[in-house]
Amino acid sequence: VGNLQIPGYELPWEDKSFVYPSNLALPLDIEIKASDGASDYGNKYGEPVIHGFTRSFGQRLPNGERFEWVKPIMFSAGVGQMDGRFADKGEPEKGMLVIKIGGPAYRIGIGGGAASSRVQSSENADLDFDAVQRGDAEMENRMNRLMRACCDLGDKNPIISVHDQGAGGNGNVLKELVEPAGASYDIRKMQVGDETLSVLEIWGAEFQENNGLL
């Protein structure tokens, strides 16, 4: 994140004249709420956060240019184990079914990749809000239990291949699952939590806690 400007803890390189876009939270708010959010998600999921680190930077360069990490980037990771029989994905074949599991589609994470690279302005504030992903730890927990139940079946595991949904939403996961065989989809049969979503939004939304299975 950018300069934290912690009250009572002044640092010589932090410039108090820096102005931040109205559609972005201040770096200190991001730092606190991101930490709280990660801990809350982990607790609800059932895997408490046990370690973390952070970096902040912002500076006025000698040529007058402002250089600062204004848009936050946050990573999280976990440690686990898996059955070696399921380490490799199976190849798609004619007659197989593509299944989506997890939460319903919402207007979440639309254009996230483009939004992270775009120059900020008041005109695209709404687009930035739509681009933000929102997590649902309880849905993630339910989906994980389903995945684990399938894996616990051993050689009878019905899952041939799995792809978690992220950047690009269905437009990514549903294509990669079936390459190079291809598949036919009726996108309107997708489970949605918002009936106003267009076909394009359903196809591209990066709503989380969702996997594609073959």
Task: Walk along the chain (214 residues) and give the pLDDT tens digit of each residue.
Answer: 899 999 999 888 888 888 888 878 889 999 999 888 888 888 888 888 888 888 889 998 899 899 988 877 888 888 888 899 999 999 999 999 999 998 888 887 665 555 555 555 555 555 455 556 667 888 888 998 999 999 999 999 999 999 988 778 888 899 999 999 999 998 888 888 888 989 998 898 887 788 999 9
pTM beyond 0.75: the answer is no
* C-alpha–C-alpha distance, residues 170 and 150, integer Å: 22
**Bridge partners (DSSP) listed for residue 68:** 58
Q: How far apart are CA 27 and CA 4, in angstroms?
A: 5
Longest dimension (CA), the chain: 65
